[in-house]
Structure 1
């Protein structure tokens, strides 16, 4: 064992305490009148006994621990070490000393040594935890903890470890009847959620921390609404997610976010299966600077690919994700390429140069209203770009090709949705004649992605409103960006070829509810501080999205959050003709012609005039 200065100090203290314990045991046994012959025994054995204890303590690791974080395991180490040390000293005295210790002295010796050594070690922890619960002058705020479970204890400990600089816990709220009037780490449980306003007022609470990481979104929403009425700062301890290499158990107290109110379950990945097709492989991600593409790069980097190739058209976004990955994951072999997926020649040059084994195709135009106004760009990027990358993947013998699709591809009413459906059909047609495993992964909206409603709402709130919602009955499926990326990676591991995987999106959420929640979380009152205005459904939009056509249906997979759609018929000749037409006349195609061509290939594609969505819904 390597000894540092602190370890040497501890050894010196232990030497003093051991001898103090020996003297104390005699003093207690003989009530202060210690016979002279026992002083002689102690004199002859003190050095040996002290040395034995120090050696035993070293063997039990008492000099290489951070005692300010001591717990049960450290306490057991002390008990074991003192027991072994005392037994060893008694044996030495039995064989070497001129006079044996009385049995009661040996017992007292063990007890006093345990008390002194344990007390010296746990003194720092006792002070750290603030057992006396004395509030330090100048504390900035009084804190109420919601949840008397593991996360609540973690939150209290974090506040105590920071010497209450971040706040002083005055009480806990928990709905469990059996926890009422009890204490957690010295902090009393003061009631249930209905008591929050009373407790806030009585204890002059300035901040509330919601410590319920496993609670569903509706519970968090209910508690948040109660807390908001008390006009205090609300924070949350988010879920402790099971990432790829174990539990992430770092405490992070932050402001309540819209994701917390949705209550999405954590994603559990089959680590061995995922690592099996990514570890040691050259992985290429198109659209790597986008919301999904960049998150895919972050997640893929955890599986030790041989090379990770970031492909994108926007230099600034590619630069940003490259710098982030080089800073956060310096061990990844990163390569960046600026290219447009519509440029078939450059795509082929890059693929032949790096020979990727796995491709994630995330590059696409996704904004429905913009693509309605620029339909030719949707065709060139989403159809021609996908065809280029997918076909060249076949030519360069890519093992697995994963297309990022969208729920808007089902019964599409928009140009964007129809082009993404064609993209799915492209990879299904190629899969039938290629050794490459082509799959598509279809999911709905992701919170916080570019163009999603959340960033738009936040900007509108920052300007004082109004927050604009297209329709009071507009609903969408939502998941978080990391959740979507992890499920896409898992789906790629399950690929056999030709599948369209469907991610479990949970329950649809009303957009107006999201707007109201975000306004409240920003500290404003809906309709008073920030108003909501309904602007009407935009061209190409539906009131709700679907994940399947009526013909597809789904079958389950071994992952509870991933399903696979039943294969549907693909018009290979029609797709080839559409791709050739885009190559020849892409920028010169007229809107009516585009709608007609897409309608001839995509079954169910129907452009709806503005304001007609309600008629379609009513008809269903």
Structure 2
């Protein structure tokens, strides 16, 4: 693909600028010859159009191209451009002498050759300098406070952005860049498309841009990473326009410029769920969400409300989180009936009261403790809240004949190496065991990895460390995790729950695992700083219970495709439901006695694959990494 300077030359389309220069070559040659012959009393009358003149024009065109005369903008013509013009003129002179030497320069006076490069340089350089002087004069008499903006993208978002920028008066669009070949040289509301995205450094320098704006809201993560890298190479600040989903959700205003967030770099192409299935499944329902004020729980509340439920019940142990989510739901969905139950979902009286009072059709169990290093030293609370509370809520749902019980699990439940993974895996097994004994309640488990921006996760921690000037602390250079945005995760939870069969475990496609050190480096760059220079990164070693890598399912779970390409179903692994449910009683006694050793023994007996990371050496990083297969791949395997 042609580069920017080969397509466009600032003041107008490239061909118009070239035509101007070639006309000047013809005019210069002819006028010099006419002037020379006019000095001869008996000199011939020189014709305006000759074969020699056409040959000279062709020679000079090649010289212009070889010298790269069209790399600069007329708007910023400088001494360097004048030197290039003279160089091209002198090279053209030498080529003319060589070409016409076959006839010993007959009909071409030496005086014309001597004056030619100087006269041509004046004819080409003069208009450029005059154009720059005119533009400088305009700039001096315009709003000097307007910030010069170079827009990346030339679609509908860019078109709206250009109009908004001009309307505000605070910004001056100096041009656009776009990779579409058919758009090169076009204009958008008076702003020219000056090249491709790869030309951003050159165009930004030559247009004196002070701000870059990415106006391509449809970019996926890989595309955004590429564009952000190009913007970073300029050293200029850059912003982006909000995505349509952000505008519809109310998190951004149309035309609002925002900083590129790490979610923009790690997110994937927008998910297209089966909207008709979701709405038909949720419409008119009463939904109860445990942990409804947390990161996942609150987003589940929003999305359920958005898709037509008639009543929502938030069960939350935190007063502040309860107040916040209830206020938000009532403000955003005035027609929705919102109720709250303050209490611990592991308290049988609390959950029975909630189910009896509001008779929900579906229960999303999102309440859990999730901090791996913390829970390693708090096994009792991990067992009580993650395992026993799940059994308490599930049993109550069976007694109340709730139609659907959706349990939110984690990738750490696969080959568990820590308290979080073991207690969540036990909860998964409880749900699968109870499913066989619950004719009126359908049990569904949805498993996924880390979510970006959740409370206590690595992204908010890195943001705070960057705000304080560093250092950023990373546990290990090779540690990786799966990441997903909270709205994406919740949307897929609803998709899985709406289309699932009884007792299944569903995994969400988390994409490729992300190296945490790469995440740290990207966040530092997004803050306008350089990793290792402005913000140091230090490695502290894996914390208690941590693995180098996580996986989303066991190898023997025989995953199968579902109707949605981003959701896979796992088969039930071999285990004894009787042992799982009978050991719940033993766990409750161990919790009541605060007997940590008994809890560890019960977990190890019930979950044979549970090998605490501290026992096997987390530094080996022997986690089972299983790629998320496509439907075609699964079909070939089965």
Q: For the superposition of Structure 1 and Structure 2, which TM-score range results when normalised by the shorter chain?
A: 0.7 to 0.9
1:133 and 1:274 mapped to 2: Cα distance? 55
Q: Which residue of 1 aligns with 2:425?
A: 421
* Alignment coverage as a number of residue pairs: 486
Report the alpha carbon displacement of residue 618 of structure 1 after superposing the two structures with TM.
9.4
Aligned equivalents of 1:357, 1:619: Cα separation in 2: 37
Q: Distance in 2 between matches of 1:370 and 1:257?
A: 28
Check conservation: 2:551, 2:624, Cα contact below 8 A: no
1:286, CA displacement in angstroms?
A: 0.3
Q: Deviations over 1:388-414 (max 9, x none)?
A: 101100100101111011000000001
Counterpart of 1:447?
A: 452
Partner SS for 1:558: coil
Q: Any idea what SS the aligned residue of 2:288 has?
A: strand
Structure 1 residue corresponding to 2:343, chosen from 339, 359, 366:
339
Bigger mean CA offset, 171-180 vs 366-375: 171-180
* Shift of residue 264, structure 1, vs aligned partner: 0.9
| 2:226 maps to 1:222 | yes
Query: Is contact 1:145-1:172 (8 Å) kept?
Result: yes
SS in 2 for 1:609: helix
Q: CA deviation at 1:330?
A: 1.6
The alpha carbon displacement at 1:140 in A equals 3.1
2: distance between equivalents of 1:216 and 1:350? 42
1:482 to 2:466 alignment: no
Give the equivalent residue in structure 1 for 2:361. Answer: 357
Match of 1:137 among 143, 148, 154: 143
Q: Is the 8 A contact 2:316 2:342 kept in 1?
A: yes
Relative to structure 1, the CA distance from residue 368 to residue 587 in structure 2 (aligned partners, 3 Å threshold; closer, same or farther) is farther
TM-score by length of 1: 0.75
1:550 matches 2:555: yes
Matched, 1:473 2:473: no
On the 8 A contact 2:319/2:342 being kept in 1, the answer is yes
**Alignment-derived partner of residue 282 in structure 1:** 286
Q: Map 1:522-533; keep pairs closer than 5 Å.
A: 522-533=527-538
- Residue 531 and residue 614 in structure 1: after superposition, are their counterparts in 2 closer, same or farther (change >3 A)? same
Aligned equivalents of 1:133, 1:551: Cα separation in 2: 69
Name the CA shift for 1:134/1:561 in 2 (closer, same or farther; >3 Å).
farther
Q: CA deviation at 1:250?
A: 4.3
CA shift in 2, pair 1:166/1:395, >3 Å? farther
Q: Pairwise CA RMSD of aligned residues?
A: 2.5
Over 3 Å counting, the alpha-carbon distance change for 1:166 and 1:557 in structure 2 is: farther
2:186 to 177, 182, 190: 182
- Partner residue of 1:384 out of 375, 388, 392: 388
* Equivalent-residue separation in structure 1 for 2:141 and 2:541 (angstroms): 55
1:485-500 aligned within 5 A? 485-500=490-505
Write the distance in 2 (CA, Å) between the matches of 1:134 and 1:150: 32
SS at match of 1:583: helix
Where does 1:256-271 land on structure 2 (aligned, <5 Å)? 256-271=260-275
Measured at CA, do residues 431 and 242 of structure 1 come closer, stay the same or move farther in structure 2, by a change above 3 Å? farther
Distance 2:156 2:192 in 1: 15
Cα distance in 2, alignment partners of residues 244 and 194 from structure 1 = 31
- Say yes or no: does 1:400 pair with 2:404: yes
More moved, 170-179 vs 248-257: 248-257
Matched, 1:596 2:588: no
Deviations 1:453-506 (A, max 9, x none): 100001111111100001111111111001111111111111221010111111
Aligned to 2:614: 609
Contact 2:317 2:344 in 1 (8 A): yes
Aligned to 1:147: 153
Indicate the residue corresponding to 1:561 in structure 2: 566
The residue number in structure 2 matching 1:501 is 506
Gap regions ≥5 residues in structure 1: 1-131
**Distance in structure 2 (CA, Å) of the matches to 1:278 and 1:582:** 36
Query: Which of 183, 204, 210 is 1:206 aligned to?
Result: 210
**1:554 CA drift (Å):** 1.0
CA contact (8 A) 1:542 1:613 kept: yes
* Secondary structure in 1 matching 2:193: strand
Task: Give the drift of 1:277.
Answer: 2.4
Residue of structure 2 in register with 1:236 after alignment:
240
- Report how far residue 271 of structure 1 moved: 2.1
- Structure 2 portions without partners, runs of 5+: 1-137, 626-638
Distance in 1 between residues matched to 2:588 and 2:266, nearest whole Å: 43
Whether 1:512 and 2:517 are equivalent positions in the alignment is: yes
Question: What is the rounded CA distance, in whole Å, between the counterparts of 1:619 and 1:277 in structure 2?
Answer: 35
Q: Is the 8 A contact 2:550 2:624 kept in 1?
A: no
Query: Which of 328, 334, 353 is matched with 2:332 structurally?
Result: 328
